């Protein structure tokens, strides 16, 4: 730009710069309007969490009650169980969601047959694109206690049928496993990309020095992907209160509420079904704040550890 | 092949061979586990309901029939929901692409070239991290008169932040000289955006289009939440009601529930498959672009 300034008269350049700036702001305008209307305006509704909200009176007419809704919330007798369920399901999903793709990518990376690698990748990635509604239909079918595929196989091995989705001990684990099933292909692609970007000459050098496969793995492969592993771990911490509404809502039923109910499904039942608008909004608010703090911390951490920057 | 080069003696290469055999079978097995449930449901959809209810179907149709598909294709409610989803895609995808495109462009400039970029960044990021929650959103949209309106499925999700970041990163990698050359020739920012950047950014835009199509195709909760009348449900919301609403019945009145469940079994399977088919059809394109997009968006950072 600097070299070319000489060719353009100064005034003209200023006008050009101004016009450009205005155009940029103009281009941002539609997105900003939509965000204000559909994201920022609803944020004011949070006031409901501090009110004894009555639909007839609206937000402007309902009376303020301070933190009463929060107190009521924490004295609900099943809130501890719900918190436990949320954290258990979500933490297990995070752990498996890290381990399985890494191991799978490491194993896949050892295969030299391109066609095989690509086919496997294509297949394991597919479930990621299907909605939980569709997959709920699939799982309800194959986990069916009377004639589902899984129980048929178990019966062959002499194991009694298990009502996976109607047994409160099985339910959370089924959620964890099926979620891993759905999403590990996605993670595999990220790690595989990291693995293939490792300089092959490092392996050549190691082999010349007589390193075996285990040593190559330990000293080249793992250090080569550790950054992306740290990044994915740190970033997943921010979603620790999201145990997966789509999945659980579509698969659960009253029999497994005690172990399967998570914050999001609880908010939905409380808010929409029981019309307890204020308490439901209070739960949302707590969840938003905790997530916000965790995400900010984890992004800082990610930046500190791996220099990752989102914007 | 690494094995041929590594001369660590016979023992290593023997172990290596054993490992590769194990590895290939293990990877194949896992792939099978990923695809088998879907194949099973496909097989069910083509089987007779008697074969399905007696648990004879595994991965191949038994007493092959098209009955369940006939039933689904004659089901007007199914088609109605299908049309709602198509309408939704028709409204949402072009609009999303347009907004993402014009928003990513100024954000791809650095803060010196675009004063106020930082501010906009925060403005865009905050809604991603913090929201009003279910009830306040519902009430706001109700006040806008959007309940039972197809636009409620389109408008709130119009600014997908991940797509903006993806396109922004893509635009940053484009050679800046092209735009500078255009501006020397007298092109304003809008001209260079639509005549220089747009043609160059088509691969990234295609990726985002696929993101958007899949997201809207798969979305079900907003339909359930914002539509009072099942007539207005998009396909996935309609399926949510028909596919997953049986559990309570099986438990409360077991016999009756089971009877219904069994006769519905093949129909459900056919519905699942018809609703999955479009995703399967775009999947080859999807996968190619997604892999690139993902690697572009996440690994390079």
CATH of B68-301, picked from 3.40.225.10, 3.90.1150.10, 1.10.8.50, 1.10.3720.10, is 1.10.3720.10
Task: Name the residue of chain A whose CA is nearest to B133's CA.
Answer: A284
Q: Read off the pLDDT band of B237 (50, 70, 90).
A: very high
Distance from CA of A243 to the nearest CA of B (A): 16
Residues in contact with A258: Cβ distance below 8 Å, sequence separation at least 6, in sequence order: A78, A81, A168
Exposed / middle / buried, residue A242 (Cβ in 10 Å: 0-12, 13-18, 19+): middle
Interchain proximity A140–B246, CB inside 8 Å: yes
Mean pLDDT rounded to a whole number for chain B = 84
**Residue A97 belongs to some domain of the structure:** yes
Q: Report, as an integer, the average pLDDT of B260-284.
A: 82
- Residues in chain B within 8 Å Cβ distance of A189: 291, 294-295
Chain A residues with CB-CB distance to B176 below 8 A? none
Whichever domain contains A149, its CATH number is: 1.10.3720.10
Using the predicted structure, report yes or no on whether residue B262 has a pLDDT greater than 60. Answer: no
Of B23, B134, B279, the CB nearest to A107: B23
Q: In which residue ranges of chain A is pLDDT below 50? A: 1-5
Q: Do B123 and A30 touch (CB under 8 A)?
A: no
Residues A192 and A89 in one domain: yes
Q: Do A83 and A39 share a structural domain?
A: no
pLDDT at position B301 is 37
Preferred mutation among B23, B56, B108, B134 to probe A, highest tally of A CBs within 10 A: B134
Q: How far is A116 from chain B (nearest CA, A)?
A: 9
Closest CA to B236 of B285, B272, B280, B199: B272
pLDDT of residue B297: 52
Contact B33, A181 (CB under 8 A): yes
Residues of A in contact with B25 (CB under 8 A): none
pLDDT at B176: 84
A51 three-class SS: strand
Q: What distance in Å separates residue B232's CA from the closest CA in chain A?
A: 17
**Do A58 and A165 sit in the same domain of this protein?**
no
Query: What span, in angstroms and rounded, lies between the C-alpha atoms of B51 and B57?
Result: 6
Mean pLDDT of B165-182: 87
Which is more confident, B243 or B159?
B159
Question: Which of A40, A64, A88 delimits the end of a domain?
Answer: A64
Instruction: Report yes or no on A20 lying in a domain.
Output: yes
Asked whether residue A188 falls in the same domain as residue A286, the answer is yes
Helix (H) or strand (E) holding A63: strand A63-64
Q: Is residue B254 scored above 70 in pLDDT? A: no
* Structural domain count, chain A: 2
Together in a domain, A29 and A123: no
What pTM does this model have? 0.86
Q: Cα–Cα distance between B103 and B100 in angstroms, integer?
A: 5
DSSP H/E element including A105: helix A79-109
Residue A90, in any domain of the structure = yes
Instruction: Sketch the domain layout of chain B as residue ranges.
Output: 68-301
Domain boundary among A36, A64, A92: A64
ipTM of the complex: 0.86
Using a CB-CB distance cutoff of 8 angstroms, which residues of chain B are in contact with residue A194? 299
Residue at which a domain ends, from A38, A64, A90: A64
- Write down the pLDDT at residue B1: 43
Question: pLDDT per residue over B187-214, tens digit each?
Answer: 888 888 998 899 988 888 988 898 899 9
Is there a contact between A308 and B54 if contact means CB atoms under 8 Å apart?
no
Query: Is A1 within the bounds of a domain?
Result: no
Query: Taking a C-beta distance cutoff of 8 angstroms, is the pair B261, B250 a contact?
Result: yes
Please report residues of B whose CB lies closer than 8 A to that of A134: 218, 236, 239, 243, 272, 275-276
Angle, alpha carbons B278-B279-B281 (nearest 5°): 65
More confident residue, B249 or A96: A96
Question: Tell me, what's the pLDDT at B175?
Answer: 85
Q: Which domain holds residue A57?
A: 10-64
Give yes or no: residues A88 and A194 share one domain: yes
- Which structure tokens are listed for A224? 């080569």
């Amino acid at each position: 730009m600097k070299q070319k300034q000489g060719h353009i008269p100064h005034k003209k350049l200023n006008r050009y710069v101004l016009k450009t700036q205005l155009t940029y702001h103009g281009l941002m305008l539609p997105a900003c309007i939509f965000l204000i209307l559909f994201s920022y305006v609803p944020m004011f509704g949070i006031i409901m969490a501090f009110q004894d909200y009555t639909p007839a009176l609206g937000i402007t007419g309902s009376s303020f009650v301070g933190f009463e809704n929060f107190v009521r919330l924490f004295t609900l007798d099943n809130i501890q169980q719900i918190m436990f369920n949320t954290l258990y399901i979500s933490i297990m999903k995070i752990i498996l969601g890290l381990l399985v793709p890494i191991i799978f990518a490491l194993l896949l990376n050892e295969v030299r047959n391109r066609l095989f690698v690509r086919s496997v990748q294509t297949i394991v990635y597919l479930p990621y694109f299907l909605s939980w509604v569709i997959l709920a239909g699939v799982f309800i079918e194959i986990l069916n206690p009377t004639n589902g595929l899984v129980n048929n196989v178990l019966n062959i091995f002499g194991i009694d049928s298990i009502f996976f989705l109607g047994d409160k001990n099985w339910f959370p684990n089924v959620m964890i496993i099926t979620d891993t099933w759905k999403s590990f292909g996605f993670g595999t692609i990220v790690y595989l990309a990291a693995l293939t970007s490792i300089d092959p000459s490092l392996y050549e050098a190691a082999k010349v020095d007589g390193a075996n496969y285990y040593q190559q793995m330990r000293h080249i492969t793992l250090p080569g992907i550790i950054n992306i592993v740290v990044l994915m771990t740190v970033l997943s911490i921010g979603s620790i209160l999201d145990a997966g509404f789509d999945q659980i809502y579509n698969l659960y039923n009253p029999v497994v509420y005690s172990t399967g109910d998570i914050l999001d499904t609880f908010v939905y039942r409380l808010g929409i079904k029981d019309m307890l608008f204020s308490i439901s909004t209070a739960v949302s608010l707590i969840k938003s704040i905790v997530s916000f703090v965790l995400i900010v911390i984890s992004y800082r951490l990610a930046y500190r550890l791996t220099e990752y920057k989102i914007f | 092949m690494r094995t041929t080069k590594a001369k660590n003696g016979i023992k290593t290469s023997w172990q290596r061979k054993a490992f590769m055999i194990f590895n290939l079978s293990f990877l194949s097995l896992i792939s099978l586990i990923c695809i088998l449930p879907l194949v099973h449901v496909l097989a069910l959809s083509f089987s007779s309901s008697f074969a399905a209810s007696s648990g004879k179907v595994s991965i191949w149709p038994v007493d092959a029939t098209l009955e369940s598909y006939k039933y689904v294709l004659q089901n007007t409610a199914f088609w109605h929901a299908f049309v709602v989803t198509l309408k939704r895609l028709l409204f949402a995808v072009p609009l999303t692409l347009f907004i993402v495109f014009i928003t990513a462009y100024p954000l791809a400039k650095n803060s010196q070239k675009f004063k106020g970029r930082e501010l906009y960044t925060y403005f865009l990021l905050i809604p991603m991290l913090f929201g009003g929650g279910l009830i306040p959103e519902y009430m706001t949209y109700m006040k806008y008169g959007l309940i039972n309106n197809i636009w409620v499925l389109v408008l709130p999700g119009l600014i997908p932040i991940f797509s903006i970041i993806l396109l922004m990163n893509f635009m940053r990698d484009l050679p800046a000289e092209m735009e500078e050359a255009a501006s020397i020739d007298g092109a304003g920012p809008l001209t260079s955006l639509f005549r220089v950047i747009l043609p160059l950014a088509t691969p990234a835009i295609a990726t985002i289009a696929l993101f958007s199509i899949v997201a809207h195709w798969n979305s079900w909760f907003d339909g359930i939440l914002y539509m009072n009348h099942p007539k207005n449900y998009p396909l996935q919301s309609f399926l949510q009601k028909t596919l997953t609403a049986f559990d309570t019945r099986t438990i409360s009145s077991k016999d009756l529930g089971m009877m219904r469940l069994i006769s519905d079994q093949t129909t459900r399977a056919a519905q699942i498959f018809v609703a999955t088919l479009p995703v399967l059809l775009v999947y080859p394109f999807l996968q190619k672009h997604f892999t690139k997009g993902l690697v572009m968006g996440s690994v390079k950072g």
